[in-house]
Amino acid sequence: MVYPGWKQYMAGIAAALGAVCLGASIGWSGPVESSYMEGKSGYKFTPTDDEWGWISSLMTLGAACMCVPVGVLIGLFGRKLTMLTLVIPYLMGWALIGFAQNLVMIYLGRFVTGACGGSFCVTAPMYTTEVAEIQHRGKMGCFFQLFLVHGILYTYIFGGFLEAKIVNLLCGILPIIFFMAFVWMPESPVYLMQKGKTEKAEKALKFLRGKDTDNTAELNQLAEESKKEKVRATDALFRKATLKGLFLAVFLMLFQQFTGINAIVFYSSQIFKSANTGISANLCTILLGIIMVLSTVMAVFLVDRIGRKIILLITGIVMCVSTLIMAGYYKWLQSKNVGWIGILTILIFIVAFSAGFGPVPWLLIAELFAEDAKTVAGAIAGTTNWLFAFCVTKLFPLCVHEFGEAVCFLFFSIMSLLAFLFILFLVPETKGKTLNEIQAILE
């Protein structure tokens, strides 16, 4: 018998296709770097190391600029309309990259695609959790991260075998695929009820839960929530529990980025090439993408079994040890023809990050804040995440040039250790706790 609420999964997957678009933007710079830097991209310009650093990092700066504004837009115009409208600037951004005649066009294209990707980062997870039934929210809440790593793998595979112009075209069609899938989905029933559109909310629920399902209880709950006294966002933000939650969220975002993930993803081909393994850098990069996907799938099944805090502690230690080994490899072993050590430790780091520090901090953000503070606090946390990502991706190649790979990976190792200690002593376990219980702990 077919589960009557299967369409909520269909809606969640359609929304998560926006994460594929974002993942493609994140993964793009790794596999195409060598063709651009060596003048083999088919374009009239050849970036310097510093210019490529800007090309890679401007995507994250664009994402940081949009987290807060898109939080306002989805409240005014809805989740669905906002996401569908994002397709237009997304296509314009990829057009600027694909038809770039100079560096300014590619800079602007990267910034615009980053801004759209950052908007999906806020909007798609919110839509997915709002269309899901309570018993399915945990699993569906991981859709965004799962589809994001599929987007990264997408560019790793095509970027490894095709020239840059074709890769740009293949990335540019992803927003169109998202639009064609998502345009048929309903608006979030939560948003519709907040706007007093009861009949449309009921119609959306019938689509999501099945036409023969009794949605009376869920509709009544949505109506009750929409009638609660509205608290100003600033008042909700300055509550003791919210400030503590924001403190935890911002530091989790800092550790997520400064343990080195985006440096490895954005410059993967360069890192594998410098490891002197004798294996194609593009092949190693594709392997990295596959590992990311499989590890994120593993996280979907583990996070509700062993708990958020435990999985962060375990993966934090693994990340610390693997980046410490990488530092030692670059310091003493790079010339010893043991490049497999570098590849293996990078892949171990990716497994640990994808199973823990990738999805779990975003899950905790959804759990640390009350509903009336979640939009603003989540947008602040998302903005800081992308700003930290910008710092890492911009500074990593400069630091490698100035201090060498060993020092950079030693820094990542130290940050992983600090993350472990921070989580051990300050981050509460939220597994199995209601929102009110979590707020009581933070109070």
| Boundary-marking domain end, from 185, 203, 219 | 185
159 pLDDT band, cuts 50/70/90, is confident
In sequence order, the 6+-apart residues with CB closer than 8 A to the CB of 182 are: 14, 15, 17, 18, 80, 83, 84
Model pLDDT, residue 319: 95
Mean pLDDT, residues 138-160 taken together: 86
Query: Could you tell me if 239 and 309 lie in one domain?
Result: yes
Query: Could you tell me if 180 and 239 lie in one domain?
Result: no
In sequence order, the 6+-apart residues with CB closer than 8 A to the CB of 360 are: 299, 303, 308, 311, 312
Query: Could you tell me if 181 and 238 lie in one domain?
Result: no
Please, are residues 142 and 304 in contact by the beta-carbon 8 Å criterion?
A: no
Is the residue at 29 inside a domain? yes
Which range (119-133, 155-169, 181-195) has the least confidence? 119-133
Centre a 10 Å sphere on the Cβ of residue 261 and count the other Cβ atoms it contains: 22
Q: Which CATH number is 140's domain given?
A: 1.20.1250.20
Is the residue at 95 inside a domain? yes
Q: What is the DSSP letter of 104?
A: H
Please, are residues 202 and 188 in contact by the beta-carbon 8 Å criterion?
A: no
Model pLDDT, residue 4: 67
Query: Could you tell me if 271 and 174 lie in one domain?
Result: no
Average pLDDT, the chain: 85
Which range (123-132, 302-311, 336-345) has the least confidence? 336-345
Residue 112 in this model has a pLDDT that exceeds 90: yes
Query: Could you tell me if 180 and 39 lie in one domain?
Result: yes
> Rounded to whole angstroms, how far apart are CA atoms 373 and 238?
9
Query: Could you tell me if 240 and 155 lie in one domain?
Result: no
Model pLDDT, residue 277: 61
Is the residue at 353 inside a domain? yes
Q: How many domains does the chain have?
A: 2
Residue 279 in this model has a pLDDT that exceeds 80: no
pTM: 0.85
Query: Could you tell me if 274 and 394 lie in one domain?
Result: yes
Query: Could you tell me if 168 and 298 lie in one domain?
Result: no
| Boundary-marking domain end, from 129, 155, 185 | 185
- Between 236 and 315, name the one with better pLDDT: 315
Query: Could you tell me if 239 and 181 lie in one domain?
Result: no
Residue 412 in this model has a pLDDT that exceeds 90: yes
Q: 284-309: per-residue pLDDT in tens?
A: 778 888 888 898 888 877 877 788 89
Is the residue at 136 inside a domain? yes
Is the residue at 245 inside a domain? yes
Helix (H) or strand (E) holding 276: none
Query: Could you tell me if 439 and 325 lie in one domain?
Result: yes
Q: 200-230: per-residue pLDDT in tens?
A: 988 998 898 887 777 778 888 877 766 665 6
Residue 1 in this model has a pLDDT that exceeds 60: no
Q: Which residue range forms the structural domain that includes residue 99?
A: 1-185
Is the residue at 15 inside a domain? yes
Is the residue at 203 inside a domain? no
Model pLDDT, residue 175: 97
Tokens of 370: 């009350």
> Rounded to whole angstroms, how far apart are CA atoms 193 and 384?
31
Find, among 156, 186, 165, the residue nearest to 7 by Cα: 186
